[in-house]
Amino acid sequence: MDNAFLSEDPTQTQGSHAAPGSRSGGRLLRQTFIIALVLVSGGLLTSSAGAEERTYPIKIGVLTIGWGPTPATVGLRDGLLKLGYRENEDFVIGVRFTQGDLAALPAAAHDLVQYGVDIIFASTDGAAQAVQQATSQIPIVFAEVNDPLGIGLIQSFARPGGNITGVTDLHLELGPKRLELFREIVPGLKRVLFLYDANHAHAAVEAERYRDAARRLGIELAEKAVRTQEEARAALAQIQRNKIDGILAPYQANLNIPGFILEVASQWAIPTMFNTTFFVEGGGLAQYGPEYYESGRQAARLVDKILKGADPAQIPVEVNAKIEFVINLKVAKALGLTITPEVLYRADRIIR
């Protein structure tokens, strides 16, 4: 792991998963680059009875499919600070990211293991699966994972087993409500495009949830599965504005699909619904989903338990039940949409 430090404010993340467009949005950092975040607080890390001897600062390796430190990573940092851990003396965080490339995760996970990190924080299910396959010894804490039991990360929520525990969220369960809110924001919403990564099993389950919800709501779901970034970009380039009323972004940033959606939607003035606030701040219309910063804060408590000697196998998986509904009112006005006061009142945050 390179000893390179962020020169900018580490709280300014590259987004929950991806940059808004692989060419025009955000600073795209090289796939092989590893950022070490050194973070500050007050208090002293102490070893409790049963905790193994460690060399300080503790090295926490982060693996994400995104473009840099995610909101969950920042939440992890802030959570550790609140617990009294100190920068450089007690811990450092190194981030390994793969810029939307799911296939690059195993090698990135191997890099973290080879570097000799003390704990690995895996952001999203693909990252968690990669680090689980890379090591059976280093403790793993995951976040932004919707179904850890279903994808084989854990044996049970109460006793995860192995060297892993973490924080799950309710993304899939929120799918029907997300589509329902999209219809309320966009009057006359009849045909919605859902573009997703065919290589990822989770995306197929997500598509099924949206398909059922669309049928119930009287919406036609235009599904498109792609396997490469080139296919994703080409599929969106073929959109006919008069045949699509809105676009649903997938849960994860595989193939940079959310970034491409933001590019095309901005160009053609198409309403969009995302699962993370980052893209709404970047020009998307709305977001409804888990608050991933909170997932990181919860994960910090699990890291704390591990550092004090607890076995990850015996630490129950937690659920992040904090949900955000965000509307970009400026984008709505640009699209010619009038959002009712009732819908605006239900929003947790309005970007003006």
End-to-end C-alpha distance for the chain, whole angstroms: 41
* Cβ pair 21, 267 in contact under 8 A: no
pLDDT of residue 8: 30
Residues in contact with 41: Cβ distance below 8 Å, sequence separation at least 6, in sequence order: 80, 81, 82, 83, 84, 85, 86, 87
Res 61 pLDDT > 70: yes
What is the strand order of the sheet 58-64 is part of? 4-5, 34-37, 91-97, 58-64, 119-123, 140-145, 164-168, 318-319
Q: Report which residue type is found at 78.
A: D
Quick check: 23 pLDDT over 80?
no
Cβ distance 120 to 142 under 8 Å? no
The two three-digit tokens of residue 280, written as one number: 């709404």
pTM strictly above 0.85 = no
| pLDDT tens figures, 73-130 | 999 999 999 999 997 889 999 999 998 888 999 999 999 999 999 999 999 989 999 9
Residue 85: helix, strand or coil by DSSP? coil
DSSP 87: B
- For the stretch 321-350, pLDDT in tens is 999 999 999 999 999 999 999 999 999 999
Q: What is the DSSP letter of 347?
A: -
Query: How many residues would you count in the chain?
Result: 352
